Chains A and B, each alone.
Chain A
Amino acid sequence: MSGSHTEPMARISLTLNGQPAETEVPARKTLLDTVREELGQTGTHAGCEHGVCGCCNVLLDGKVVRSCLLLAVQADGHDVRTVESLGSPERLGPLQRAFADKHAMQCGYCTPGMIMAAADLLAVNPDPDEAEIRTALSGNLCRCTGYMEIVDAVKDAAGRIARGETPVDEPPSLSAGAAGGPYIGRRIPPVEDRRFVAGKGTYINDFTLPDVLHMATVRSPYAHARILSIDTSRAETHPGVVAVILGEMLPDVIDPVPQNLDIPDVVWYPLALDKVRYAGEWVAAVVARDRYVAEDAAELVEVEYEMLGPVVDPEEAIRPDAPVLHEKHGSNIAYERVLTYGPVDETFDEAGHVFEERYRWNRHSGVPLETFGAVARWDAGRQEMSLWASHQTPNIEEQLAKVLRLPLNKLRVHQHLDVGGSHGVKRGRKHMFLTTAVSRMLGRPVKFIEDRLENMSSGDGHGPDRVYYLRAACDGDGRIQALDIRCIDDAGAYAGRGAMQLIKPITAIVGPYRIPAVRYHAISALTSKTNQSPYRGFGQAPAGYVLERMVDLIARELGIDRAEIRSRNFIQPDEFPYTIPTGAEYDSGDYPICLEKALAVSRADTWEQQRREARERGKWLGFGLSTVIEPGGGTGMVFAVMGPQMVNMDTNMEGIRVHVDVTGMITVTIGFQSCGQGHETTTTQLACDFFGVAPERVRIARADSMEGIVTRATSGNRLHLMLPLALFSAGRKIKDKMQAIAANALEVPAERIELAGGMFTDREDPEKTVSWDQVCFYAYRRDTLLSPGMEPGLMASAVAKHPRGFVPPTPDGRVAGGFATYTFSVHVPVVEVDPETLEIKLVDYYVVHDCGKVINPLMVESFCYGGVNLGIGGALYEQFKYDEDGQLLSQTFMDYLLPSTMEVPEIVLEEHETPAPGNPVGAKAAGESGYMPAPPAIVSAVEDALRHTNVRITDTPVTPDILFGLVNGR
């Protein structure tokens, strides 16, 4: 008996941010929900709602506490302060300013809680050292940064406070951080950060509509079972409940979730129909006046199941005798293909040495601190659907139109939200289909914010999950001649994006090495787990992991140094563009020099001595090494090897609109929303340099899906390749027109006009000038100054073509072109292992990174540090672990372990710039090469620390417990 149905209420009065506040709340309502929903302070965020992540930190009577673990009624009569108390975007307090200036965030979602923890620290310790800062912030998790930026910001804030700095009035503008151009290549603090530090980001949970209903799911407790009956009567009559939606209602109103594979008998709806195929699968959705009531009623839905055998292990799943999840499909194989490039068997037959190993890359993922959320509104009068969601799914409006059976021009997907982290996984397709469908069914706006359990168990947000059997043929010098790779990927219960992630690695399957022959046997297995989403690298990371592990293995067996064997196999700088056996073409790079720099910066000549010194103080020290490729700027055509259904696009375009208004201000409209990548800042930098104007003049707007901006969103690490192309193309049209108008005004030929410093000047008579503002005015108001046939106004759009031409793959799966750019990085982590407890501690971390021309170093560095953070997680801590019954054992932040300030060491990063030939600013992708090289490098370091034991580490994550087993031969 869980209390009565009537909601006990409590009247509370407290001091919130220095002001008296009074409200009546349900006694069970948390302080977190109360300050956000009743008291209008949305800077405090929900991350886990069980006290682990720190996003919801507030000060209670001056001390930092978790507001998700405090009932609002407990704050009655107390003093509560949230991030909003420290300053506003126009008037940042010293802590906020320090976080913004140091770019101590990307998505900004964890930032308010982090700042409140720092405020608590600085109140009692005004001059903390690094260790004290790290300890004080260890209960605040961040997925975007590497924490270093945050530690720096706290140090900086301590200095500002010590100097007596008080909030100063300053508009939230890019110029605040950088006066005078050029802007490309500068360490400019992102303009977005100023709203984030003030708690003024607009995330999906901050967005609401009048009369909105809230949704919660009923989830399957079993991994595989037939649904015999569902009784919703108790739930439906529960006060405050509006509807209980079941899977059986959906086929009448929506199409199944699209799956990119030719598997018509794997039918996927957001709610289970006749069967559940994994523990956590959504069986029903309860819609109610608030989320509390929706969760109450979800417990009252009674489902009767007939248990079937769970399908947990991917290798067992593909055996003929395994229980089948989708009976009509006939097996648990979603996709299988053997791709052979070059003389693989012949090479193995003649090889001097053949090495083989089995590797296991276990399930982990981006796990952003903001869960997925969506708000949908069906406008029955206009027969139009509007959707707001914390997503980064390319062309979701097209999928929605198909699934909802609506014309595309009756769908408006808004794109102006701040997304609280993604790292690829914020797709939420089934969430969006369900929320929109339910809104249309009920004729009411519906809000669905996943809670952490929904997110972890059933949000389709898991990353790749693979078993690899790898064979390598090489000569006596360690030169690799062929690879034979068999990979079984655990896709989850429906195809999702698993199979696509399994195929992407063919774009860089040989890494940075000259390997002439490769076989890739890819099997996508259906299992009793939630589905995969794209995760940082789109399936590339495990492929890089096993290759690097194999290179280490060969080095060890042949007695060759790990750096030396890599050097011997590297593609050389004069060989670019270089075509690998799969047909993918690498654009540029200089691998040897990056390796050389990495060895120098990590002082490789002192490694032996450091090892000896560590031994003397009772520790085993290990140095890791990985050299990994990051393909950037995705091409859809790679996926065409998966079958004819995928040969549906041969470009991957991006559009933009530039509007220079009558007052001379520039609005650049992009068509997607960002998850912390700082596109408002980089796009402003590009526009400032292109037009030679100051950042105050530039604003970045985000168009919804009905405004005609062609976009493929943030995916495949492509926008900093595509945005310059699109922006410069649209900008060119406007600049040409302005030059013509200036020429008309000055009565000189247009080709003599040049634009510099905000003035259009006659090159032959510098006295003849007209200002930017004047030309803008003429463009809108002086028809007589327009050239014949010229339209008034300064507005231009452009859609940039992908710089690589796309050609369909050959029937045997050879692709042409591959990705647009190939970034390279070298990681050298240093670990210390305790010989008795086998605890693993990262003590140092070195990275050399070549992503071509860097548009904003502050941001690129943060991508890299944050990537290392996630890579440390995947290597040492994070795993979605299932038991043999298919129960997810790590669905809370108590069990799924995200690295904190204490697990991520200081990272030393050195940039090397090999400009990308296919891009106007020379930029390459920068989002994945912090993450992808980290797991192989860290595992290499751990193995190195244990080299006297001859232990071979094949699986991720490697934990002290696993090391204990390996060392003891278990």
Chain B
Amino acid sequence: MKPPIFDYVTAESREHALAVLRSHGDDAKVLAGGQSLVPLMSFRLAKPAVLLDINRLEGLDSIEASDGSMRIGALTRQCELLTHPLIAEHCPLVRAAAEFIGHPAIRNRGTVGGSVAHADPAAELPVLLQILDAGIELCAAGSQRTVPADDFFMGLLMTGMNPDELLTGISFPLPGKGSGWGFHEVARRHGDFALVAAAALITLDDRGAVAGAAVALGGIGDRPVRVVAAEETLKGNRPTPETIQAASHEVDGAVTPVGDIHASEAYRAHLGQVLTKRAVHDAVERARAS
């Protein structure tokens, strides 16, 4: 299992990287942490003619928080999410979800941008981006745009990125006062991709009713999805166990579960409900405590 031949290009600068992408288009692949791409090449499922290594680019690995929003550079290693003080302070949800990503050796090398661009529906970060209403920053030669997460993830390993675009970072509004989060995942083994992962972000108003709700599921279908019907069930209501249960039942109509050798469609659908309930429950508890 050895990678096939490719032309290796080290990106010297952002402009250089974008120029390479523009001239090679689909034939080029961006190499960041390589934790998904290199195995695919070794299996010979991916055979890029040009491998564009962006690891030496500067300024792409910062984590910043300002004006109520957070920006994480694409080359930020996943291990940073576990230890970075800004994340611990402003968005512990990210830390909690990142603990489910693989193992230390994977997180030390794997990048935030790589995980998002790879768009594995069972990966943790894409689910997070969904409930955080994150924007994905895409850069091309002479242009730049930010795509909402819900538009970005289009299907199994499919995104709204153009071949000449480089993912440079993600940004999202920080959850405000009165909000709480929940994240639950079932995987076959510790560190495996999720069979189903559920994330919830709940904001309560002064009366204890749900003012804002975001619920998303990963692993269950071909892409991470927002469960809007569950959110609608919660909004404006007091989050009693019955309401939360009712919200979790909305998963059924909202997603199309997939089956594979690790979990059937029916089991994934079931997990979707159970984990939604648990994530919302935790989010409500944390919101109440905030």
Contacts and interface: CB of A to CB of B under 8 A. Distances in A.
B103 interface: yes
A16 interface: no
A735 interface: no
A121 B107 CA distance: 13
B157 interface: no
A28 interface: yes
Interface string A323-349: 000000000000000000000000000
B192 A897 contact: yes
A603 interface: no
A537 interface: no
A54 B4 contact: no
A606 interface: no
Nearest to B188: A897
B5 A51 contact: no
A897 B189 contact: yes
B102 interface: yes
A877 B6 contact: no
Contacts of A959: 188, 262
Interface stretch (A61-69, A278-286, A586-594, A844-852): A61-69
A965 B186 contact: no
Contact of A139 (B8, B42, B55, B106): B106
Contacts of A452: 1
Interface string A614-654: 00000000000000000000000000000000000000000
Contacts of A892: 43
Contact of B264 (A26, A837, A961): A961
B5 A4 contact: yes
Contact of A961 (B7, B192, B267): B267
A242 interface: no
Contacts of B47: 1-3
A117 B4 contact: no
B131 to A, nearest CB: 20
Interface string A37-76: 0000000000001110010010010011110111101100
B103 A139 contact: yes
B49 A903 contact: no
A259 B274 CA distance: 52
Interface in B19-39: 27, 31, 34-35, 38-39
Interface string A252-295: 00000000000000000000000000000000000000011001
Contacts of A140: 103
A71 B104 contact: no
Interface string B99-133: 00011111011000000000000000000000000
A8 B7 CA distance: 6
B39 A8 contact: no
A560 interface: no
B267 A3 contact: no
Interface in B141-190: 186, 188-190
B271 interface: yes
Interface string B76-93: 000100000000000000
Given A3-B49, A64-B108, A138-B190, A299 B44 contact: yes
Contact of A8 (B5, B109, B191, B192): B5
B63 to A, nearest CB: 17
A69 B104 contact: no
Given A49-B42, A70-B109, A3 B6 contact: yes
Interface in B25-77: 27, 31, 34-35, 38-39, 42-44, 47, 49, 51, 53, 55
Interface string A406-428: 00000000000000000000000
A139 B109 contact: no
B258 interface: no
B53 A74 contact: yes
A27 B109 contact: no
Nearest to A2: B47
Given A30-B3, A50-B1, A117 B104 contact: yes
B270 interface: yes
B105 A65 contact: yes
B282 to A, nearest CB: 14
Contacts of B261: 881, 889-890, 895
B245 to A, nearest CB: 12
A6 B79 CA distance: 37
A1 B49 CA distance: 7
B35 A900 contact: no
Nearest to A73: B8
B5 A28 contact: yes
A291 B79 CA distance: 33
A136 B108 CA distance: 12
A63 B104 CA distance: 9
Contacts of B254: none
B207 interface: no
A33 B263 CA distance: 35
Contacts of A403: none
Contact of B266 (A57, A136, A964): A964
Interface in B218-262: 261-262
A159 interface: no
A314 interface: no
A257 to B, nearest CB: 25
B186 A65 contact: no
A27 B186 contact: no
Contacts of B8: 8, 10, 27-28, 71, 73
Interface in A917-970: 959-961, 964-965, 968, 970
A136 B104 contact: yes
B106 A902 contact: no
A960 B274 CA distance: 14
A464 B11 CA distance: 51
Contacts of B191: 138-139, 900, 902
Given A2-B47, A970-B266, A296 B190 contact: no
Contacts of A49: 1-2, 42
B272 to A, nearest CB: 11
Contacts of A291: 2
Contacts of B274: 836-837
Given A837-B271, A897-B192, A296 B4 contact: yes
B190 A69 contact: no
A219 to B, nearest CB: 12
Contacts of A7: 5
A411 to B, nearest CB: 31
Nearest to A896: B261
A538 to B, nearest CB: 28
A111 to B, nearest CB: 15
B277 to A, nearest CB: 8
Contacts of B49: 1-3
Q: Which of B39, B104, B108, B267 has most chain A Cβ within 10 Å?
A: B104
A369 to B, nearest CB: 14
Nearest to B259: A961
A968 B264 CA distance: 13
Given A299-B44, A837-B271, A839-B186, A57 B1 contact: no
A253 B262 CA distance: 45
A960 B6 CA distance: 42
A877 B188 contact: yes
Contacts of B189: 877, 897, 899-900, 902-903
Given A49-B42, A295-B44, A881-B261, A66 B105 contact: yes
A453 B43 contact: yes
Contact of B190 (A28, A894, A903): A903
A51 B186 contact: no
Interface string A121-152: 10000000000000110111000000000000
A548 B2 CA distance: 45
9 contacts: A51-B106, A64-B108, A66-B105, A71-B8, A71-B53, A452-B1, A881-B261, A892-B43, A960-B267
Query: Which A-B residue pairs are the 3 nearest by beta carbons?
Result: A139-B103, A902-B190, A27-B8
Given A49-B1, A65-B105, A895-B262, 6 more contacts: A3-B4, A3-B5, A3-B6, A8-B7, A51-B106, A117-B104
